[in-house]
Structure 1
Amino acid sequence: MGDYSKALEFYDKELKISEKALPSNHPSLATSYSNVGSVYEHMGDYTKALEFYEKAHQINEKALPSTHPLLAASYNNIGSVYQDMGDYSKALEFYEKGLKISEKALPPTHPDLAIPYNNIGDVYHDMGDYSKALEFHEKALKIRETALPPTHPNLADSYSNIGGVHNDMGEYSKALEYYGKTLKIKEKALPPNHPLLAISYSNIGSVYNNMGDYSKALEFHEKALKIRETALPPKHPDLAMSYNNIGVVYSTMGDFSKALAFYEKAHKIEEKALPSNHPDLATSCNNIGFVYNNMGDYSKALEFYKKAHKIKEEVLPSNHPGLAISYNNIGSVYYDMGDYSKALEFFEKSHKILEEALPSNHPHSAFPYNWFGKVFRSMKDYSKALDYFEKCLAIRQKTLPKGHADQAITYSNIGDVHRLMGNYERAISFHRKALNIQENVRCNPLDCATTYTNLGETYRKMKEYSTALTYFQKGLEIREKKLPKNHPDLAIIYHNMAKLYLSTRQYNMAMKNIQQALEIAQEKLPSNHPHLLDYRKTFEKVRKKL
């Protein structure tokens, strides 16, 4: 039910009775310590969780033979906490100890042998080593397919784990295939309002969101929410998860007021249900901060991002990747505010943590380079911007499957820098590389719209106005279809088109477009936002021609 304080209260009572009634090395006492550790882990208090899991482990080591399954389970518990803390090498060390015992104690097709394989697969997934993750998840799946009936829930878990890896690899059709297999099993095995069904619907919704199919994403997230509203108490953390997921879709669509409403519902539940320093509270603060940043309310964005950061500093080790995300988020606000030196300061902090915490082949290690590129591009230091975008691309080419959506975004960024440097042919070449992926792989259509817009700007600078207009219209069509009418990204295209019409002396059309850009910007952006200042300058140029 997600009431951790109640659970802790009862487990503490049980532990006190066990400590009085049993000898200090009795295996049942180890079980009590493990139960308390599990609650602390769910509460995000990883130090306490480790303390109790290690007490349980010490008893198991003394009381049980070296190949006993409970000893393997206690290694797995400790590994799980280290994984939560982002200490992946420690997590692997303990999971592998658990695996070693299970391999000795169990026949090769025993279902319990699948558990350590899955755990190890999860760590490799977190480390961004997707081929290793798939290798271990597929070992677990093979055992379960052999040992379990075809509608067993554990089989569904294996399909779900593999689907999650494919989702992060950008292989969305494969992700949907595996998540679909999971859902099929659960629909047969479980009643229609079971919370585990909600997890499957949420996973499928997340894939559709990544694909840019927002109506489908909302459909599945709303199915999950409906189940959770029926099956769970009103302050259960999983209910907050559904609200957060729906908020993410609205946020991606640019409907920030709706996103904020859902994020705040989630935050309200988490404030009641979780301890004040729980990592999930940091996540919801980050989500709210992200919306305020996109709405141009930078002081509010910083307030929530800093709240998230404070929580993470309390509960996570200083080199945890979650802290890097916090620094990155705060840096992004300073970037949008035009305070590039502050932005760089925070991006560098993020970069330092990711360099220490993640293996060199982790896809997330590309993010700081991407942001460095964006900052230096805005500072008009194009050679530095190009250098960082190329570093970002090198990582993404090495760590992601060929044709991944993130590679396309980087090609487009590189193309944009070449445009700003006046290398128009190079710019077109990189934008075409981006489009080759975006037009042929199931990507977020809004990423494609950005590439069309960048291409349009390149052709406008080359004075090939009809070609430029074609690309602007392609970008506009996608954004008008996918975004609300007052989204700032629409204003960017209206502004580009206004400049084009100004160059071709179609002053009435130029005025129509610049007015549309200004209306959106005045509603959505702060009065000193660089885009709004640019739009006003263009408006004055057009006005003088009429």
Structure 2
Amino acid sequence: MKATLGQKIRELRIRKGLTQSDLSAGLVTPSMISQIESDKANPSHNLLASIAEKLDTPIEYFLTDTETQMEKVSVYKIAKALMATKEYEKAIPMLLELEGNPSPHVSSIDVAYDIAECFLHTGHYMNATERFEAVLDSAMARNDNTIALLVLNQLGELSFLEKNYPIAIHYWKKAHEMIKKGQPAELYLHAKIVQNLGSVYYKLGEYTEALQYYRESNELLEGSHHFKQIGDIYLDLSFTYRDMGEFEKAAEYSQFALSIFQSLNNMKLTIDVKAKYGIVKGETGQLEEAVTILESCMNEYREIGCEREIGIVHSDIARILIQGAQGDSAYEHCEKALRYFEEGTLERAHVYRMKGQIESVRGDLEAATSLIQQAIDVYNSHQSFGELVKAYSLLGDIYKDKGQFKEAMECLENMNAAMEENLRERKIVI
């Protein structure tokens, strides 16, 4: 059953934490809002428009059905998933469609921010800047300071990328002043804004100001788990002191940075050993225990800022789950792993190969062929002959299942050629 106009207004009001008095203020009496929500009275178009504005909702929502709105929520989730896997070009048209046909269940400011972020990551800096500035205006008008701080940092980073350092300083200082005036900010974002100010002043050769901001950023992070960022700040401080001619202090901060990175390496080594233990557990058939250990390793890697290792563990879990015939769960971990690997890397190729294996078992041989071919392209570019042998073997089996025997034979020939190169590389044959 479709929701009535009154039910829609009531549901949105409650979701946004407003009372009937809050919604009626400046418009009508609270009792009139009560009657409208009970479907005992129909608002005029002007009143409905005012109610929609107070609920931060396009008036069209009250004239469309719930099913359409849920479809838009689904589209937004897909767009966010594409962004998570760095497929920004594919996400842009979906987000633009949502912007043109908004839904109350999807925040318009979030959609606008996501569009700007997609433009940033696809190198469309002018479009990104225009979009972020529009989001900033909207956030300021609504006193949404959390979004405003995020946008100010992004605008600063965009300006820095374009070497427009005075404008970068303007945005980062504005964010810094908002925080100093009492606007709460997530610790990492706060420290990043301050560190960015240090970086831009260092770039301009204004070392005294750079030192001031680096120290402030370091003080913010002391006692936190952002070890890598602390190490980066110490390194920045050492470069700044070196360029100021204060070599003793430069050496001191270099040593601090070295100690941090050495500690990180020692911590990482401990987690690496634990992860290998989890992998062995999985390879001996103890899947549940293996996944528990490896998920614990991911959390520990996250605490010390080892993002790439998180992706590798997702990849390891996927491989173990494939061996245990848990294809659906393995596929989920493959998708998560891809978020951590850049295009053209061997790690990404391994994930493509595993996804191809899963699609082959599912019976989607076309998807399997495409994925394994992507893996082969990367392996070829790296001259990774051992991995090419495995990939061509898989692809040949898929072609046989498809009845494409000519292509299967070509895969066999390529596999043999890769095997010979692999042996030659290992000095087994001349």
TM-score by length of 2: 0.42
Higher RCO (C-alpha 8 Å, min separation 6)? 1
Bigger radius of gyration, 1 or 2? 2
